[in-house]
């Protein structure tokens, strides 16, 4: 089965609709252009690229380089009035005004741009160009991790992975986008009282408090607890770099001991003031075991004494995160995952129903903790495993480590930190508080 985004593009192209495709990296771009080759077959399609290999035969490709810039080439090509312009260039080199003009004057435009990790810079740039909104196509983005999205020119999402495919006319902006009304929902019936009691008897003794960060826009105070943003570094320390690819690693999590809730007792080693996780988000990173505790694509450490880091170095992946300060912690109760609690099948099933009721505000507040571990970032409590339970063994003594902090890469400030979805966990050895590891898994 072909990729859904390819189906949308292929259908749109075959109907002669205008499209502007931005692909985050070369491999994704090539796959998409190849997928559209059939639709470009009968068209008068002119392409521009630095590398002439791997293009579909339907596109006549001209080499860029030296005097021949993309803007010059496109101008010359427009004089030939082709049906389609196909171009490959670094995102920063794209003559956006020219491309927009081309779409407005009846030319299809298909671009694959390297170094365009998401649609925001592109949409921002297009916003500065004068164009008739009605004539402008949607922007189709395939980011560096192969995740496809379609956004309108104002950045509003039109289609996301996992949703039903939009019609080609909608995908390309030929009809306005009106979000569908939320489907009517039948409430999930309450659990049988006996089953609820069994669930309670089994799980309530294992309930633990967890602390959900209350987030606010990032401040200048580098000593704060935060997700992403500017960290503290050791005095005189250079920005931490990936042990595999040497790219600067963005801060993912910084927890300040002084700001942790009184009853959230993480054992900080003597003298330590901050716990920090830096993680490599470079698209070029060659790490082979990215999810494992021993991988060298992260720095997880306690910091005794720090000073504010300089501004984060510019790097491909660093800007993908949306930093937030942690300005408080909300205390909640939660119970272990069904595998950690060793629940029988009928109770596992009952729990799914309960979770559904909790998610839709249909459950009593005292039932909510029985639904299981919370998703999202959180401190202590029970881990939510994306796959099987993954309790780590201490690399020093072999003892089972305890769960400290959960990182959610599916949504929120650390979206796509390590995968398009998935959950990561910081664990600590109860006998050796200085020994901490970070592991993750995705679905
Ligand atoms: Zn790396
Ligand atoms: Zn240990």
Contact call for residues 200 and 341 (beta carbons, < 8 A): no
- Cα of 431 to ligand 2 centre, how many Å? 5
Cα gap 302→308, rounded to integer Å: 15
Q: How far does the chain reach from its first CA to its final CA, in angstroms?
A: 20
Maximum CA extent, the chain: 79
CA of 266 to the centre of ligand 2 (A): 15
Q: What is the C-alpha separation between 39 and 10, in angstroms, rounded?
A: 6
**Cα(210)–Cα(48) distance, rounded to whole angstroms?**
55
**109-134: per-residue pLDDT in tens?**
877 776 655 555 555 555 544 443 43
Confidence of residue 440 (pLDDT cuts 50, 70, 90): very high
Residue 282's pLDDT band, with cuts at 50, 70 and 90, is confident
Cα(393) to ligand 2 centroid in Å equals 8
Ligand number, closest to the Cα atom of 427: 2
Q: Which domains does the chain have, with CATH numbers?
A: 4-171 (3.40.50.300), 193-441 (2.30.320.10)
SS3 101: helix
Q: How many whole angstroms from 383 Cα to the centroid of ligand 1?
A: 26
Q: Which ligand is nearest to the CA of 395?
A: 2
Report, in angstroms and rounded to the nearest whole number, the Rg of the chain calculated over CA atoms. 25
Determine the Cα–Cα distance for residues 322 and 320; give it in Å rounded to an integer: 7
Cα–ligand 2 centroid distance for 291 (angstroms): 21
What is the distance between the alpha carbons of residues 335 and 315, in angstroms, rounded to a whole number?
Answer: 40
**Tally: H helices and E strands in the chain:** 10, 20
Residue 68 carries which DSSP code? B
Q: What's the rounded mean pLDDT across residues 316-342?
A: 85
Q: Higher confidence at residue 9 or residue 63?
A: 63
Most confident of the ranges 79-88, 143-152, 250-259: 250-259
**pLDDT(43) > 80:** no
Contact 434, 427 (CB under 8 A): no
16-25, 26-35, 85-94, 347-356 — most confident range: 347-356
Query: Is the CB of residue 119 less than 8 Å from the CB of residue 151?
Result: yes
Q: What is the CA(279)–ligand 2 centre distance, in A? A: 23
Higher pLDDT, residue 324 or 310: 324
Q: How do 84-90 and 45-49 pair as beta strands?
A: parallel
Q: How far apart are CA 417 and CA 441, in angstroms?
A: 12
Nearest ligand, measured from the Cα of 393: 2
Q: How many whole angstroms separate alpha carbon 66 and alpha carbon 53? A: 18
User: What is the number of the ligand closest to the CA of 299?
Assistant: 1
- The pLDDT of residue 185 is 80
Ligand 1 centroid to Cα of residue 92, in Å, is 23
Distance between CA atoms of residues 104 and 113, nearest Å? 20
């Amino acid at each position: 089965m072909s990729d859904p985004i390819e189906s949308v593009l292929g259908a749109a192209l075959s109907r002669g609709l205008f499209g502007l495709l931005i692909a985050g990296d070369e491999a994704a771009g090539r796959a998409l252009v190849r997928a559209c080759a059939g639709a470009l077959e009968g068209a008068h399609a002119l392409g521009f690229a630095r590398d002439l290999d791997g293009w579909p035969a339907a596109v006549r490709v001209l080499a860029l380089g030296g005097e021949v810039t993309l803007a010059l080439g496109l101008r010359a090509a427009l004089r030939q009035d082709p049906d389609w312009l196909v171009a490959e260039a670094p995102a920063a080199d794209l003559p956006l005004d020219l491309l927009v003009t081309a779409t407005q004057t009846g030319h299809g435009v298909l671009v694959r741009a390297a170094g365009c990790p998401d649609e925001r810079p592109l949409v921002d740039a297009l916003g500065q160009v004068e164009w008739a909104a009605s004539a402008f196509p949607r922007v189709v983005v395939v980011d560096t991790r192969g995740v496809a999205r379609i956004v309108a020119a104002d950045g509003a999402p039109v289609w996301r992975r996992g949703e039903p495919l939009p019609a080609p006319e909608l995908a390309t902006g030929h009809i306005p986008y009106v979000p569908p009304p939320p489907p009517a929902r039948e409430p999930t019936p309450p659990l049988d009282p006996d089953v609820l009691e069994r669930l309670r008897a089994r799980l309530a003794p294992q309930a633990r408090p967890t602390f959900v960060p209350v987030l606010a826009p990032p401040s200048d105070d580098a000593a704060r607890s935060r997700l992403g943003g500017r960290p503290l570094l050791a005095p005189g320390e250079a920005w931490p770099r990936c042990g595999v690819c040497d790219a600067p690693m963005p801060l993912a999590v910084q927890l300040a001991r002084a700001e942790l809730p009184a009853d959230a007792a993480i054992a900080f080693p003597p003298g330590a003031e901050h716990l920090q996780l830096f993680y490599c988000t470079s698209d070029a990173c060659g790490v082979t075991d990215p999810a494992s505790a021993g991988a060298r694509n992260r720095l997880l450490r306690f910091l005794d004494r720090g000073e504010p880091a300089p501004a984060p170095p510019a790097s491909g992946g660093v800007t993908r995160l949306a930093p937030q300060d942690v300005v408080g912690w909300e205390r909640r109760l939660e119970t272990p995952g069904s595998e950690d609690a060793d629940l029988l099948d009928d109770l596992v099933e009952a729990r799914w129903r309960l979770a559904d009721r909790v998610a839709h505000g249909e459950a009593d507040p005292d039932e909510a903790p029985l639904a299981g571990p919370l998703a999202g970032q959180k401190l202590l409590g029970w881990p939510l495993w994306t796959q099987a339970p993954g309790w780590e063994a201490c690399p020093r003594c072999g003892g089972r480590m305890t769960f400290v902090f959960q990182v959610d890469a599916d949504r929120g400030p650390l979206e796509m930190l390590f995968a398009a979805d998935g959950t990561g966990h910081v664990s600590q050895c109860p006998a050796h508080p200085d020994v901490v590891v970070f592991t993750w898994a995705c679905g």
